[in-house]
Structure 1
Amino acid sequence: MPRKTSQKSGSARRGGRPAPVETGELRIIGGEWRSRRLTFPAMGGVRPTPSRVRETLFNWLMPVVPGARCLDLFAGSGVLGLEALSRGAADVTFVDHTRALTDALRNNLGVLKSRSGQVACEDVAAFLARAPEAPMDILMMDAPFRQDWLSRLLPLIDENGWVGPGSWIYLEHEKELAGVGVPAHWSLHREKTAGQVCCRLYRIE
């Protein structure tokens, strides 16, 4: 019979020891690390992008991923950035504010023997408030749903130079979101709805 856990006790066990963190599993579906399975802490509502959605995205991006500089915002499990590295991206920066997730990401990059991923444990808005050395070739953002992140962050992405002419921007958001207020010079290239998720790929000409 399952043991009940009170909300008051949170993750603490009797005696002050933290309860074990449940783990989730992801599977890379393409490229050098195809079929590799990795674990991550199943916490904070982390929901890795489903395999069928990733397959669609990387079919869209197939010609441009090799050699690309990528940014994975609200990285969570890191599955989007890891897929990009597996398929030949030159560099991926993963950004997430949760320490346990970024620690797991660093560990998984070590397991894969990759030196092409950088991990930043930081608030995404604070990270985007700085200007990069150069625009990213591909920016991917799967922000928590129903928290109005897109309206807050898209202006920072555009105005601070995180993307530029030739960049690709991939967004995942809740299906019921009527419209996404992207800058006028972002052109919608592809769009797909899968279940409750709407996926959009933009390009800056």
Structure 2
Amino acid sequence: MKGASGRIRIIGGQLRNSRLDVPDLPGLRPTPERVRETLFNWLAPVMSGARCLDLCAGTGALGIEALSRGAAGVQFVERDARAAQALRDNLARLKAEGGQVAAVDAQVYLQGTAQPFGLVFLDPPFALDLWTPLAQRLEQGGWLAPSAWIYVESPRQVAPALPASWLPHREGTAGDVRYALYRRVS
């Protein structure tokens, strides 16, 4: 891929060991393999047939990993046109069905007509501090199924203010990253 800075690997499911091209873009920070492996071990009982939203998708590694492991579909939302195109290219090359890419800002996307998702990946660019506003829009805008799972990735020292209905399920740290899985209670 022209302008690619590297490749990352899908670690499980039908696309296991497939590589994703990663464009060289400022602030693009793919979720590390070890973190993805842990997260998808946690999510294994709920992956089959899940409808997912990969908000601030970046490389799309989380959503593509979900498709690889049996998710029914993933809506990818990525504001950077180059990252969105790289994501489309990776989905096409891997013949990963069920993925749709919206090249739009996450906050703008969440102003649209809501469709509830059972699993949401919330991993915005760390420098933009969008966890709380995006979480509020997800919760108040009808984007979450009643018992949705929400994955949140943030800097290790940051504890985002999240809706009270998001109960912590599991969490961990890896390097400078804090990752947590929440379960929504309605």
TM-score range, shorter chain: over 0.9
| Identity across matched positions, percent | 48
Q: 2:15 is matched with which residue?
A: 33
Distance 2:127 2:93 in 1: 34
The TM-score, its normalising length taken from structure 2, stands at 0.94
Secondary structure at the counterpart of residue 63 of structure 1 = helix
From 149, 155, 167, give the equivalent of 1:187. Answer: 167
From 78, 81, 86, give the equivalent of 1:99. Answer: 81
Deviation, 1:151, is 2.0
Secondary structure at the counterpart of residue 28 of structure 2 = coil
User: Within 5 A, what are the aligned runs for 1:149-188?
Assistant: 149-177=130-158, 179-188=159-168
Deviation, 1:147, is 2.3
Secondary structure at the counterpart of residue 94 of structure 1 = strand
Q: 2:108 is matched with which residue?
A: 126
Distance 1:151 1:45 in 2: 19
Distance 2:11 2:180 in 1: 20
From 120, 128, 141, give the equivalent of 1:139. Answer: 120
From 114, 117, 142, give the equivalent of 2:96. Answer: 114
Amino acid at match of 2:154: H
Distance 1:107 1:146 in 2: 26
Q: 1:99 to 1:56 in 2, by over 3 A?
A: same
Distance 2:24 2:151 in 1: 24
- Check whether the contact 2:55–2:121 (CA below 8 A) recurs between aligned residues: yes
Determine if the alignment matches structure 1 residue 199 to structure 2 residue 179: yes
Amino acid at match of 2:57: A
More helix by share: 2
Structure 1: unaligned runs, 5 residues or longer: 1-19
Secondary structure at the counterpart of residue 146 of structure 2 = coil
Deviation, 1:146, is 3.6
Secondary structure at the counterpart of residue 170 of structure 2 = strand
Deviation, 1:152, is 1.7
- Check whether the contact 1:130–1:160 (CA below 8 A) recurs between aligned residues: no
RMSD: 1.2
Deviation, 1:82, is 0.5
The TM-score, its normalising length taken from structure 1, stands at 0.86
Secondary structure at the counterpart of residue 16 of structure 2 = coil
Amino acid at match of 2:139: D
From 31, 34, 41, give the equivalent of 1:59. Answer: 41
Determine if the alignment matches structure 1 residue 78 to structure 2 residue 94: no
Q: Higher relative contact order by CA 8 Å / sep ≥ 6: 1 or 2?
A: 2
- Check whether the contact 2:4–2:21 (CA below 8 A) recurs between aligned residues: no
Q: Based on CA coordinates, which of the two structures has the bigger radius of gyration?
A: 1
Q: Deviations over 1:101-139 (max 9, x none)?
A: 111111111111123000000011000122323x10100
